Chain A
Amino acid sequence: MVKTSDSVEPSSVDTARIQLPYWLAGLLRHRLSVIGGSFILFVAFLAVFAPLLTGFEPTEVDPPNRFLRPSFEHLLGTDYLGRDQFTRLIYGARISMVVGIFSVVIASFIGVPLGLTAAHFGGWTDSAIMRFIDAKLSIPGLILAMMLLLMLGGGVLTVSIALGINLSSAQARLIRSQALSVKEREYFHAARAMGTSNWRLILLHMMPNSIQPVIVQASLGVGFAILGEASLSFLGLGVTPPTPTWGNMLSLAFQYMRSAPYLLFAPGVAILLLVMSFSFVGDGLRDVLDPRLKGKI
């Protein structure tokens, strides 16, 4: 009767109910997370099935029909080149979602190893890594991203890398502080005393017990990255037109604010709702994953 699964999540003790992983069960009890999560799934659905949901192409120019007001044919109207706004919005969702998630993944892949290394080895390794991160933090995020983009050129991947590097400092700091407290726990001492290698100490003991806040931070970070992408696109530094993103849609709409104010509405609201949704889910995760609250929600 030995469990072979490698899952790190202990199964819920509550056997009376259907066995959902405890974090999922907890999230479902958190009303705002459910709303946020549903909205994220909805946007993801639109993004994935975009070609099936619209008869237009996102870059299809139709000069005679520019600046059309919303109608049944063009649900959200058309822009200055006569492109269908709804089509651009759902295609743009692809970029926003991909950039948002990519950035956070990149941030975690940079930040987590840095933070764990700093915490585990301490001393000058720790000082060197943390001073480096401090130095990076002292440069405003957007300026750093702009510098990187000017060097590397626009595109989904480079935007994600630029934003990911930005977010990685916070991830590194967060996991370091968690890992330092794990380092004082007795199970960590016990493992060290029996001669466990550094590699195993970090991977088996330190990381699984300090990763939770990083996951929470990551879900909040997605929202930040989506905003970041929008800001960069707004400044003309993000993903290169004519590929639609919510950011460059907003940026274009600004230029025609007087004549076609309705163009601002869709991308603006979309960004707002998606960022809020991710932060709701993040808050929910924070509550659910907090071990002190385990079993109390």
Chain B
Amino acid sequence: MTTQTNTENDAAASADSASTILEVKNLSTQFRTRAGLVKAVDDVSFSVKEREVLAIVGESGCGKSVTALSVMGLIPTPPGEIVGGEIMFGGKDLLQASDDEMQEIRGGQMGMIFQEPMTSLNPVMTIGKQVAEPLRIHLGLSKAAARVRAGELLSLVGLPDPLEKLDDYPHQMSGGQRQRVMIAMAMSCEPKLLIADEATTALDVTVQAQVLELLIRVAEEFGTALIIITHNLGIVARYAHRVNVMYAGKIRESGTAADVYKNPGHPYTAGLLSSVPSLMQSTSGKLQSIEGEIPDLTDLPSGCAFGPRCPYVQDRCRLEDPPLENVGDDHISACWESAQFRGTT
């Protein structure tokens, strides 16, 4: 057991001066489905600085996972296709990179961990072999050296008896342990960027806390920047420096976590925050929910996609989609009515 207070957010200050390692510009990813064309990610731009922890938050279908898969070059084509934009990483546009180059980057300079550690691990291969694989491919280690390094990595991620675990199979481990293995694999080549896509959603809350603390600690140790993709607003508040709020394929708000939570610039963000009941104090009566349903991506409303659910909606919102504009220092939001809306909150 460890007791500690939060220190991670202090790193945000130092991140400001650091250099940008990932720059996504006007990324658009579409899927062709029987029901029609789905603009899963629509004109999304953001950047990640060295050692920064960026959260992308939103509900199902908002495009947060597709954004991550696009960055990793893992969009299944067909039905998916990246139709525009640039993804600059290490001085190179990943969208122009060949398959071989992407292979080299994935698992090398850029890693990803997914929600389901059971399906991301090969059930018939030992843990040791699986952790050693990226070491042999990307670092060219010998079989014996890779095994030694794999053992070190497993002990780094806090698995008990790491050397014995090398010969275990995934089904012999708990969900939390498997997610630790995934982290060990993702960190094995000391990547510059690690994307965690709902990596702790399937875990119990006490195990989730362990795994997240581990992720943050390891990322700090290796100087890795993190993109945390989650629907959990608490995780964002606890760990992220910056946050992108997505809705219906677009970033609607972006800023430092402290700013966005304290003074949300978009009615959707405000609605999400007030939808979550408080852990810290008892509330009774109605929660302030967002009315209506998440829109169908094949049939988005005209103008602002959040318009039909927005309590501040005006005629203009139904006609034109608002662009992202500054609402504060390093804080942007896409809302025609943000001035009025923020005045009232």
Contact = CB atoms under 8 A, between A and B. Distances in A.
A19 to B, nearest CB: 15
Interface in B170-208: none
Contacts of B33: 295-296
B40 to A, nearest CB: 16
A162 to B, nearest CB: 43
B262 interface: no
Interface string A275-297: 00000000000000000000111
A296 B35 CA distance: 9
B136 to A, nearest CB: 35
A17 to B, nearest CB: 11
A225 to B, nearest CB: 35
A14 interface: yes
Contacts of A13: 35
Contacts of B34: 14, 295-297
Nearest to A295: B34
Interface in A180-232: none
Contacts of B35: 13-14, 295
Contacts of A295: 33-35
A14 B35 CA distance: 7
Interface string A4-22: 0000000001100000000
B168 to A, nearest CB: 28
A13 B33 CA distance: 13
Nearest to A294: B34
A14 B33 CA distance: 12
A297 B33 CA distance: 9
A160 B124 CA distance: 45
A291 to B, nearest CB: 15
B166 to A, nearest CB: 35
Nearest to B79: A296
Interface string B30-56: 000111000000000000000000000
A51 B35 CA distance: 49
B78 to A, nearest CB: 12
A27 to B, nearest CB: 15
A13 B34 CA distance: 11
A26 to B, nearest CB: 10
Interface string B11-46: 000000000000000000000011100000000000
Interface in A3-62: 13-14
A15 to B, nearest CB: 11
A85 to B, nearest CB: 48
Interface in B58-116: none
A13 B298 CA distance: 13
B253 to A, nearest CB: 33
A51 to B, nearest CB: 46
Nearest to B34: A295
Contacts of A297: 34
Nearest to A296: B34
B138 to A, nearest CB: 35
Nearest to A297: B34
A120 B79 CA distance: 40
A14 B34 CA distance: 9
A297 B35 CA distance: 10
B36 to A, nearest CB: 9
A295 B33 CA distance: 9
B149 to A, nearest CB: 40
B248 to A, nearest CB: 20
9 contacts: A13-B35, A14-B34, A14-B35, A295-B33, A295-B34, A295-B35, A296-B33, A296-B34, A297-B34
Given A14-B34, A14-B35, 7 more contacts: A13-B35, A295-B33, A295-B34, A295-B35, A296-B33, A296-B34, A297-B34
- 8 closest A-B pairs (Cβ-Cβ)? A295-B34, A296-B34, A295-B35, A14-B34, A297-B34, A14-B35, A296-B33, A13-B35
